[in-house]
C-alpha cells in the first residue's frame, strides 16, 4: 500500500509507504475529523483512507450534519427513515472500525436554513449551549475535539447540503480559533490542516494525494456501504463505479490560511 503526494508547484510525485510519512507535520497523536453532510458521504469518498488512518493509530471521528430525512425511496419508510438511517450509520462505520460517530441531526435538504448561529427555540435541531446553527455546532466540535486534520466533501459536489457544510466548516475554523462564543469552550489556538474528499462531483482542482489500499480494504468499504440498505437505490451508481475501480482514493489539500498581504509583495517589486 502506498501514498503518493503531488507537489502542486512542481508537479513532482513522491511515493511513501505510510500516511505518517506522507502527511506533513504528523503529530504523535493524530486526531482526524471527517465532516459528512449525509451519513454515507465520507464512507463513499474516504472509506479506504479511514481504515488506513485507524491502522496507523489515528483517533478518527466522523461528524454527520443531517438527519437523512429526505433519503427515502419507499413511502413506507417516510416516517421512520431518520431512525433507520441512524442505525445503518452505526453499523456501517463500525464495520470498518470507526466507533466515534457524532450526529447533529440538522434537517436533510434544508441546511441553508441553519447557516450561521442563533439562539435556539424549542424544537430546534443541533442545539448546543442554548444556540443552534451549523457554525455553532462546528465551532463547538472543533474546540472539543481539537483535530489535527479536517476532511470535508469537495465544494464541487452537486448536492446543495455539501456546499453549505463546506462553507460553514471553513468559517467555523476561524470562529473556533478566536475567543468568541466562550460557552462553546476555549479557543483552539491554531488551525488544523484541511482536506477534501469527492463523492458525487469532481474536485475543484487536481487532488494532491493518492491513497492506495488493498482489495480487502476496498471490499470492507463496499460491504459497509451495503449496510446503508435504505440508500441502495440512491447510491447504486456510485457503488457500481467503486466496485469496478482499483482500491484507490484521492484527497485534495484545501490549503486553509488567513490573508497575509506579504504574499503579494513580490508581484509589485
Mean pLDDT of 218-230: 97
Percent of the chain with pLDDT strictly greater than 70: 100
- Cβ-proximal residues to 230 (8 Å cutoff; 6+ apart), any chain: 71, 72, 73, 74, 77, 81, 84, 85, 88
Position 103 scores a pLDDT of: 97
Mean pLDDT of the chain: 95
pLDDT one-digit tens code per residue, 161-193: 999 999 999 999 999 999 999 999 999 999 999
Of 237, 246, 187, 195, the closest CA to residue 219 belongs to 246
In the structure, what pLDDT confidence band is assigned to residue 223 with cuts at 50, 70 and 90? very high
Is the pLDDT confidence value at 11 over 90? no
- Is the pTM higher than 0.75? yes
Task: Please give the full DSSP string across the chain, using - where no structure is assigned.
Answer: --EEEE-TTT--EEEESSHHHHSTT--TT-EEEEEESSTTHHHHHHHHHHHHHHHTT-EEEEEEEE--TT--SSGGGTTTHHHHHHHHHHHHHHHTT---EEEEEEPTT-GGGG-S-EE--TT-TT-BTTEESHHHHHHHHHHHH--SEEEEE-TT-SSHHHHHHHHHHHHHHHHHHSS-SGGG-S--SS--EEEEE-SSS--SS--SEEEE--HHHHHHHHHHHHT-GGGHHHHHHHHHHHHHS-SEEEEEE-------GGGGGGGG-
Q: Residues 132, 126: contact at Cβ < 8 Å?
A: yes
Q: Which domains does the chain have, with CATH numbers?
A: 3-8+28-257 (3.40.50.10320)
Position 15 scores a pLDDT of: 95
pLDDT one-digit tens code per residue, 225-243: 999 999 999 999 999 999 9
pLDDT one-digit tens code per residue, 69-117: 999 998 998 999 999 999 999 999 999 999 999 999 999 999 999 999 9
Q: Residues 93, 103: contact at Cβ < 8 Å?
A: no
Specify which residues 156 forms β-bridges with: none
In the structure, what pLDDT confidence band is assigned to residue 1 with cuts at 50, 70 and 90? confident
Position 128 scores a pLDDT of: 97
Is the pLDDT confidence value at 267 over 90? no
Instruction: Give the integer Cα–Cα distance in Å for 47 and 228.
Output: 14
For CA atoms 204, 206, 211, 215, the dihedral sign is: positive
In the structure, what pLDDT confidence band is assigned to residue 257 with cuts at 50, 70 and 90? confident
Amino acid at each position: 500500500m502506498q501514498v503518493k503526494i503531488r507537489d502542486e508547484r512542481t508537479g513532482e510525485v513522491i511515493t511513501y509507504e505510510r500516511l505518517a510519512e506522507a502527511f506533513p507535520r504528523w503529530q504523535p497523536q493524530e486526531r482526524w475529523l471527517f465532516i459528512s453532510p449525509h451519513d454515507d458521504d465520507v464512507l463513499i469518498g474516504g472509506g479506504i483512507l479511514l481504515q488506513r488512518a485507524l491502522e496507523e493509530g489515528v483517533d478518527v471521528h466522523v461528524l454527520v450534519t443531517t438527519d437523512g430525512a429526505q433519503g427515502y425511496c419507499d413511502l413506507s419508510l417516510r416516517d421512520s427513515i431518520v431512525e433507520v438511517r441512524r442505525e445503518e450509520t452505526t453499523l456501517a462505520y463500525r464495520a470498518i472500525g470507526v466507533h466515534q460517530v457524532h450526529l447533529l441531526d440538522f434537517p436533510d435538504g434544508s441546511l441553508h436554513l441553519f447557516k450561521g448561529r442563533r439562539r435556539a427555540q424549542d424544537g430546534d435541531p443541533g442545539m448546543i449551549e442554548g444556540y443552534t446553527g451549523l457554525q455553532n455546532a462546528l465551532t463547538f466540535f472543533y474546540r472539543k475535539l481539537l483535530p489535527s486534520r479536517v476532511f470535508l466533501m469537495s465544494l464541487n459536489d452537486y448536492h446543495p447540503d455539501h456546499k453549505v457544510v463546506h462553507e460553514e466548516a471553513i468559517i467555523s475554523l476561524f470562529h473556533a480559533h478566536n475567543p468568541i462564543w466562550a460557552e462553546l469552550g476555549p479557543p483552539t489556538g491554531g488551525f488544523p490542516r484541511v482536506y477534501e474528499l469527492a463523492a458525487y462531483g469532481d474536485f475543484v482542482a487536481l487532488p494532491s494525494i493518492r491513497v492506495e489500499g488493498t482489495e480487502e480494504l476496498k471490499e470492507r468499504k463496499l460491504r459497509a456501504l451495503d449496510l446503508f440498505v435504505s440508500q441502495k437505490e440512491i447510491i447504486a451508481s456510485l457503488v457500481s463505479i467503486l466496485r469496478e475501480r482499483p482500491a484507490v482514493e484521492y484527497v485534495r489539500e484545501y490549503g486553509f490560511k488567513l490573508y497575509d498581504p506579504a504574499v503579494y509583495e513580490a508581484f509589485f517589486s
